[in-house]
Amino acid sequence: MESKIENAMFGYYPDGTPTPAPTTALWSTPTLSALQHVLVPPTATAVVTTTEELAPTPTVENQPTPTEAQPTTIPPTPTQYTEKAYKSDYDNFMSYLRSYAKVDEKDIFDYYQAQILREKVAEAVITDIAADEEVLWARHILFQDVENGEQQAQDFLARLDTGEDFVTVAEELSAPPADETQEAQVIYEDLGWFGEGQMVEPFETAAKELEIGGISGPVQTSFGWHVIQLLGRDTRTRSQADIDQLRTQAFVEWLDAKRAEVQVDITPDWIEVAPTTPDIPDAYKMQMPE
């Protein structure tokens, strides 16, 4: 008993190798606006100079080159993967499973059938995964002190209200402690571009509400207290891997909700075959003291 699934497992395609799906184009970084150039000035590029003039390139006269016999390269011819070789690999694989995993061909087919059914149901019920997503570019300062973090964030904002620069103050407050054994309690970093679900929910929600250049109030997450500045906002096309991940996540949530609506009795198959008392060989049994 064979199917396209088993053929694909061994790389055997009797009707021809399938055409690979097109790869999603890489998302290019958008051009900075005038405001973004002010928020994030370009980094100066070092220029290497020399006081010596470049020596002129010597002119080489064309010299006749004697003709030499070149060896002929014959590319290797790949060995054809025949149906006979495929059947041999298939039988060896099934024999291995029966011997070591204690499963037979029907178990393998039942497993793949369940997987295919799950994928088809997910495709049918999860249809609202957008091909494009909004992406944000932000930087933040994080105060990790649980007790004083909110007040530290307020003090940071107060300094900005007096006209001080976000980056200058953030770098000052996040400077490494003089004592190297102490852990820094304030962290400043440019987070770059990030998409949906890449940041914890309170952080992402606060960042989405900002205009470019805008600065948030104190935002609490499981990491501490943040002050966020939004540097950019754009739209990009999701990769197929991201779409598959979002569909899987949405399907798991949908499935959990459906299970909560009814009484589902799930009995794992292994319960029927697992021994209630392990049969341990005498040679491996512990000798109990008398």
User: What pLDDT, in 10s, does the model give residues 215-245?
Assistant: 999 999 999 999 999 999 999 998 888 888 8
- pLDDT score, position 177: 74
Residue 146's beta-bridge partner residues?
none
- Top-confidence residue, 55 or 75: 75
pLDDT tens sequence across 107-134? 888 888 999 999 899 989 998 888 999 9
In degrees to the nearest 10, what's the CA dihedral of 144, 148, 153, 159? -130
- Of 27-41, 92-106, 193-207, the range with the lowest mean pLDDT is 27-41
Domain match, 173 and 191 both? yes
Mean pLDDT over residues 95-115, rounded? 86
Domain match, 136 and 232 both? yes
Residue ending a domain, among 191, 208, 237, is 237
Cα(196)–Cα(133) distance, integer angstroms: 7
On whether the CB atoms of residues 21 and 240 are closer than 8 A, the answer is yes
For the record, the structure tokens of 148 come out as 């004083």
Q: Which domain holds residue 121?
A: 82-125
**What is the domain-level CATH number for residue 199?**
3.10.50.40
Cα(205)–Cα(231) distance, integer angstroms: 15
Domain match, 137 and 107 both? no
Please state the domain count of the chain: 2
Cα(288)–Cα(29) distance, integer angstroms: 70
- pLDDT score, position 175: 87
**CB neighbour list of residue 133: distance below 8 Å, 6 or more residues apart:** 195, 196, 235, 236, 238, 242
Domain membership of residue 203 (yes or no) is yes
Specify the amino acid at residue 231. Answer: L
For the record, the structure tokens of 66 come out as 């004697």
Domain match, 222 and 201 both? yes
Domain match, 89 and 155 both? no
Mean pLDDT over residues 181-195, rounded? 87
Domain match, 136 and 121 both? no
**CB neighbour list of residue 204: distance below 8 Å, 6 or more residues apart:** 136, 196, 197, 198
- Top-confidence residue, 121 or 14: 121
**CB neighbour list of residue 278: distance below 8 Å, 6 or more residues apart:** none
- pLDDT score, position 253: 92
Domain membership of residue 139 (yes or no) is yes
- pLDDT score, position 24: 57
DSSP class of residue 284? G
Domain match, 177 and 201 both? yes
Domain membership of residue 280 (yes or no) is no
Residue ending a domain, among 125, 152, 183, is 125
Residue 193's beta-bridge partner residues?
137
Domain membership of residue 75 (yes or no) is no
On whether the CB atoms of residues 214 and 229 are closer than 8 A, the answer is yes
On whether the CB atoms of residues 228 and 208 are closer than 8 A, the answer is no
On whether the CB atoms of residues 242 and 234 are closer than 8 A, the answer is no
Domain membership of residue 281 (yes or no) is no
Mean pLDDT over residues 179-195, rounded? 84
Domain membership of residue 110 (yes or no) is yes
- pLDDT score, position 281: 72
Domain membership of residue 275 (yes or no) is no
Domain match, 182 and 198 both? yes
- pLDDT score, position 6: 60
On whether the CB atoms of residues 220 and 145 are closer than 8 A, the answer is no
Buried b / exposed e over 62-98, threshold 16 CB at 10 Å, is eeeeeeeeeeeeeeeeeeeeeeeebeebbeeeeeeee
Domain match, 101 and 197 both? no
| CA distances in angstroms from 63 to 18, 27, 57, listed in the order given | 52, 50, 18
Tokens 């003291």 locate to 289
Residue ending a domain, among 125, 140, 160, is 125
Domain membership of residue 15 (yes or no) is no
Residue 190 has pLDDT above 70, yes or no: yes
Domain match, 145 and 225 both? yes
Quick one: pLDDT band at residue 81, thresholds 50, 70, 90? Answer: confident
Domain match, 195 and 217 both? yes
- Residue closest to 219 by CA, chosen among 229, 201, 200, 206: 206
Domain match, 140 and 194 both? yes
